[in-house]
A and B are shown apart, each in its own frame.
Chain A
């Protein structure tokens, strides 16, 4: 048992730290520090900076331009990125669709799609959920009917994150409804500009436009956009989900937020309600710190299992559940330190880079928006109830 980094790891850590401090566009860094929402272009520029550095394909094999990092290196990268308050990598292209393409796609598909994904030239979104198929994803009904060399797609996808920016959407569609519901699902790539694709915004409780409904009205898609075999889409999506858990605990980011919170407490002009003297609050803060430390080690144990060649398996559900619980607890603590100044609704302050006179300490306005917005983390990517079902069934055999 050894959790110390090797000299090589430490050198790597330095390099990563330096990148996040100096090597990506400073205006984006500044927005992150000030807590201003990033625009589409900011995300792309950040990811292109990673690409230029050769760090875009974190989970990609080297042959497709991936980093080929060890589990430890990935861990270091995400820790540093979190602590530096760097933007999160928008996952849909680089870490969701790409692995499916390089694992199950044919050569033509790999050549056609992977380079643009790696360079963040194309924005992807994820079309899994439907109005009547959320937790029960396998019941999805969006139909793909073979017609000559094409598929005709009809149906509605929903909760599509940042679909309004997307050039392409990867979808799970039903190609067969005769057998088990999981068996008739296929994985297909759709150009959002195809006639018959339309999108309507869904506004969330924090007042932002982050998710959408995407409608397919008899959309004609070339059959060559289907990945792998027809009817195997469910398997691909699931394999991807269990293997794609690096960073899901968001430990680095939560640690950074915990530290930010402590800094606020150290400064009386931010800690206006004098919470540093409040036993109840300080107890809650300590508890989340302890939980976070435990989660860090749980994540390390999962990662070490992967690096010794074992699949992470259903245990990685712990990372999702506890990771999101910690995020949401931190949200509550921020709300507390925002106090009455968390009440005004001042979206201009965090939606726009323009100078804006804050009410109370400048961090306060965003605390509520973040608290509201992050209610999603225990819902998306498989709700925490579903994650617990997975642990009960697949780990505990219940």
Chain B
């Protein structure tokens, strides 16, 4: 069985982003970029499935600029087997990504695609769902547990106020939630090995899909700045303070 894991290069979650002066986006010059944290969880899950003998190969794919290669190397260092970089300098929306992923899933004949539930830059929470629709396969979103048995995958989903267990027949789409697993740290020997793992480069145009954005960004603004905190001595003072600001 082959597992496909799309990994997105995003601004590192520790970075406090600043909105560009013209309000068209956030400034990512000289900003640390990392793998989308939910995608790390997805990669980890795929590797665990492989280690448990449920899968034979883990393929990672990233759509974007040349530097997405670093993100792919990180996934390879974690334990993925091979990587595909789909190069484009254009802004790709979830629909475009989903279309490319659909092509790759078909080409590679993957049985399972594990995505992050959302990426921390655009917070769309769409790619997995769109992909499922495009290829007409079942989806288990917000997964907190994934078990593969024969041609079935059982997914425990984090739904509001509880858990839902669903069983789907493969091929299927899963999107990873935060509590699915704790991703491993890449070890140095694996980082070294990752250098020798295959990474193929494609152009987005190679897939012959329409990548045109469907949205126009009107404005991006900073959240209101946090006010300075205060120190309270004890619970009584805390409660009094919360009351005085109308929080309780």
Contact = CB atoms under 8 A, between A and B. Distances in A.
A217 B234 CA distance: 11
Nearest to B231: A131
B233 A215 contact: yes
A213 B233 contact: yes
Interface string B211-248: 00000000000000000101101001000000000000
B230 A132 contact: yes
A132 B236 CA distance: 19
A156 interface: yes
Interface residues of A, number: 8
Interface in A105-159: 131-132, 156
A269 interface: no
Question: DSSP majority for the A interface?
Answer: strand
A200 interface: yes
Interface in A190-211: 198, 200
B192 to A, nearest CB: 37
Contacts of A198: 233
Interface size band for B: under 10
Contacts of A217: 236
Nearest to A214: B233
Contacts of B236: 217
A198 B236 CA distance: 14
A132 B230 CA distance: 7
B237 to A, nearest CB: 8
B227 to A, nearest CB: 11
Contacts of B228: 132
A131 B233 CA distance: 11
Contact of B230 (A131, A200, A213, A215): A131
Interface in B34-86: none
Contacts of B231: 131, 156
A87 B228 CA distance: 40
Interface string A205-228: 000000001010100000000000
Interface string B77-114: 00000000000000000000000000000000000000
A198 B228 CA distance: 25
B241 to A, nearest CB: 12
Nearest to B236: A217
Nearest to A156: B233
B110 to A, nearest CB: 56
A128 B230 CA distance: 17
A131 B231 CA distance: 7
Contacts of B230: 131-132
Interface in A155-171: 156
B238 to A, nearest CB: 13
A200 B233 CA distance: 9
A2 to B, nearest CB: 54
A359 B185 CA distance: 41
A287 to B, nearest CB: 40
A200 B228 CA distance: 23
Interface string A63-83: 000000000000000000000
A213 B230 CA distance: 14
A198 B234 CA distance: 12
Contacts of A200: 233
A141 to B, nearest CB: 10
Contacts of A215: 233
Nearest to B234: A215
Contacts of A213: 233
A210 to B, nearest CB: 19
Given A198-B233, A213-B233, A217-B236, 7 more contacts: A131-B230, A131-B231, A132-B228, A132-B230, A156-B233, A200-B233, A215-B233
6 closest cross-chain pairs (CB), A and B: A215-B233, A131-B231, A132-B230, A156-B233, A131-B230, A213-B233
11 contacts: A131-B230, A131-B231, A132-B228, A132-B230, A156-B231, A156-B233, A198-B233, A200-B233, A213-B233, A215-B233, A217-B236
Interface of A: 131-132, 156, 198, 200, 213, 215, 217
Interface of B: 228, 230-231, 233, 236
